[in-house]
A and B are shown apart, each in its own frame.
Chain A
Amino acid sequence: MNSAPSAIAVRSVSKSFGRGDAMVRVLSDVSVEIGVREFFTLLGPSGCGKTTLLRLIAGFEELDSGDILIDGVRVDHLPPFRRPVNTVFQSYALFPHLTVAQNVAFALELQDLPRAEVRRRAGEALEMVRMGALAARKPAELSGGQQQRVALARALAPRPKVLLLDEPLSALDLKLRKEMQIELKQLQAEAGITFVFVTHDQEEALTLSDRIAVMQGGRILQLGTPREIYERPAHRFVADFIGEINLLEGQVSGHGKVRLDCGAEISAGAGQAAGARVTVAIRPERARLVRGGVLQAEVTHVAYLGTATIMQLRLADGGPFLLRAAADDLPAIGGRVQVDLPSDALQVFAA
């Protein structure tokens, strides 16, 4: 283990809002270490506490319990302006009385840099988000996506050690969003900034992140690389939330055998006691159309995507099953097919 402190350490942090009967627990015992220069993503459904965690790190909310360390220093008692982090706010929070250029120069001016330096660095940040041409506008004269890009430039301009980004690309159209994703990733690597990135777009999370924390209901359910999260989800919720997956209910019928509710019996669920209800999960691209496969199904829908074919199947018990196959496998709708579930592609979750 190297002894360098992590960029951010969150230790057993809990946070509630309100008091008495109206009290809601928003974060429960959240712990995470984020490495220097890491692109770290918080991923989870709306209301799971992502923004709250960012606000705690930035210093806008007070902890109920636990510690937060930035660069190895406890920051619990530091006001936001003494913390070496900048935020791209979910609501943008651009200053309406200042122009785009003045917004971006705000932090630089506070650092008492020379005027020319301020102008140069603000200009650079604006160019990066392709807003140089609109530098003289006021925020009210910009579209949502343009405002979001200004918010990004404003937080980047002072080159913080840690940047907290709360869904910074959510208002952009797909093309611009893809471009900005690449730009962000490049910038993060080049400037050596630690990113704590919030999104509820799982594809964005998978493509950009070094590590992802999947959150639900104020807890981190799983922490890992995109690959680990995608291929080895630790929870049924994570499996369901990230990418497409088939969840088949069943019952453990004896050593390493599960009888699915659709009638098929498969080998899976080794560590489970006989009789236990389980959920067996498999990604659409890992299931295979094989004559003599264990699942009997009827084709209900076929979508040809060019690179692949997505098939919607109906199992014996009426449940749906999604299957992704090579582009030339085109069974007829209404046809009967058999599906094989390779045992190394299966995940079993206790129900």
Chain B
Amino acid sequence: MSGTAPLRRAGLVGPALVTVLVLVGVPLCIMVWVSLLGRGTTIGVDWQSVPSLANYARLIWEEDFDGTLLFNPTYLSILWRSVWQAAATTAICVLVGLPVALWMASLPRGLRNVVILLVTIPFWTNLLVRNYAWLIILREDGAVSWAVNALWPFGPVQLLYNDTAILIGLVYSFLPFMILPLYAVFEKFDWRLLEAAYDLGANRWRALRRVIIPLAMPGIIAGSMLVFIPSLGSFVTAALLGGGKSMMMGNLIQMQFGQSRNWPFGAAISVVLLALMMLVLMGIALWKKRAEQST
């Protein structure tokens, strides 16, 4: 009896394990392997080359004519800007998504479903098309640009082709990923707890901080991961709304596999990106565990 139980468990877990291995593990190994190889002439990777860490080194140092290594901040600054941009996107999505989700949960049931539909409608259209739409909205001779410039007292403002434009585009693209998990929390929320907080003397702000936000934490964390991770890897928005001037990690990777035909370098950046995301996820997990222990 006791001998068959582990066997049966293995049998149940097996298919999932195999799927994960084949669909995630194997491609990941290939990617790491490619990141160690040299650049090829025809297909972007030279399978015969000797594996080395040269592609990773290139992210930090550049080789001078005489072979000495010089510190090269270009890629690190792109990395930094991408992380910063993704973090800012996530923060704005929390700030906007929280009130929206709260508002949605307060609607009558019938209306709620309509609003959920409205929130998800953008997904029906291709991301590229939606980014082009922003291109039109924010363009220099557009109504928005005109209105902003009419109201803004400190000289002319350009809305397009800068980091702000990218931020707007990213927030727009990923906001639903924040709203939906938050809404899922608030839909089940026991509003009597809010009454209890008021009753004990908490004003609206303190009730929000001490009761609503702590209880919405699972939704905030889930939404933040759903926003941060794709923002960090996104390239369409930066390419279109950033006008190609401000490069992001995503653009850099895409370029290596496209124009530059340097697959190994692209793979190396991807591995770094992956490691970064793992770090963020582990940080969140650790923080969550600590928060649970401290209370």
Contacts and interface: CB of A to CB of B under 8 A. Distances in A.
B200 A110 contact: yes
Nearest to A83: B199
Interface stretch (A97-105, A265-273, A275-283, A284-292): A97-105
Interface string B181-206: 00000000010110111111111001
B195 A80 contact: yes
Contacts of A86: 199-200
Interface string A84-103: 01110101011111110010
A237 interface: no
Contacts of A93: 190, 192-193, 195-196
Indicate the size class of the contact surface on chain B.
10 to 19
Contacts of B245: none
A95 B210 CA distance: 10
Contacts of B193: 93, 95-96
B201 A107 contact: yes
B214 interface: yes
A81 B215 contact: no
A58 B206 CA distance: 18
| Among all A-B residue pairs, the 9 with the closest Cβ atoms | A107-B200, A93-B196, A80-B198, A93-B192, A81-B198, A110-B201, A97-B214, A87-B199, A81-B201
Contacts of B203: 79, 81
B211 A95 contact: yes
Nearest to B194: A93
Nearest to B206: A110
A98 B202 CA distance: 15
B69 to A, nearest CB: 52
Given A97-B214, A97-B295, A58 B199 contact: yes
A17 interface: no
Interface of B: 190, 192-193, 195-203, 206-207, 210-211, 214-215, 295
A107 B192 CA distance: 16
A110 B204 CA distance: 12
A158 interface: yes
B152 to A, nearest CB: 37
Given A93-B190, A98-B295, A81 B199 contact: yes
A32 B56 CA distance: 80
Contacts of B201: 81, 107, 110-111, 158
Contacts of A91: 192
Nearest to A136: B295
Given A93-B196, A97-B295, 15 more contacts: A58-B199, A60-B198, A60-B199, A80-B198, A87-B199, A89-B192, A89-B196, A89-B199, A93-B193, A94-B196, A95-B196, A95-B197, A95-B211, A97-B214, A102-B295
A154 interface: yes
A85 B198 CA distance: 11
A81 B200 CA distance: 7
A97 B196 CA distance: 14
Contacts, number: 61
A58 B199 CA distance: 7
Interface residues of A, number: 26
14 contacts: A60-B198, A81-B202, A81-B203, A81-B207, A93-B193, A93-B195, A99-B295, A106-B202, A106-B210, A110-B200, A110-B201, A110-B202, A110-B206, A155-B199
A195 to B, nearest CB: 16
B192 A106 contact: no
A95 B195 CA distance: 11
Given A95-B193, A97-B214, A158 B198 contact: no
A31 to B, nearest CB: 24
B47 to A, nearest CB: 54
Contact of B195 (A60, A102, A107, A110): A60
A81 B295 CA distance: 25
Contacts of A158: 200-201
Nearest to B200: A107
Contacts of A97: 214-215, 295
Contacts of B197: 95, 106
A164 B215 CA distance: 26
B4 to A, nearest CB: 36
Contacts of A154: 200
B127 to A, nearest CB: 37
Interface string A169-197: 00000000000000000000000000000
Residue of A58, A91, A93, A155 contacting most chain B CB atoms (<10 Å): A93
A19 B202 CA distance: 31
A81 B201 CA distance: 4
A127 B43 CA distance: 76
A86 B207 CA distance: 15
A118 to B, nearest CB: 13
A102 B197 CA distance: 13
A79 B198 contact: yes
Contacts of B195: 60, 80, 89, 93
A106 B203 CA distance: 13
B266 to A, nearest CB: 44
A85 B211 CA distance: 20
Contacts of B199: 58, 60, 80-81, 85-87, 89, 155
Contacts of B198: 59-60, 79-81
Contacts of B200: 81, 86, 106-107, 110, 154-155, 158
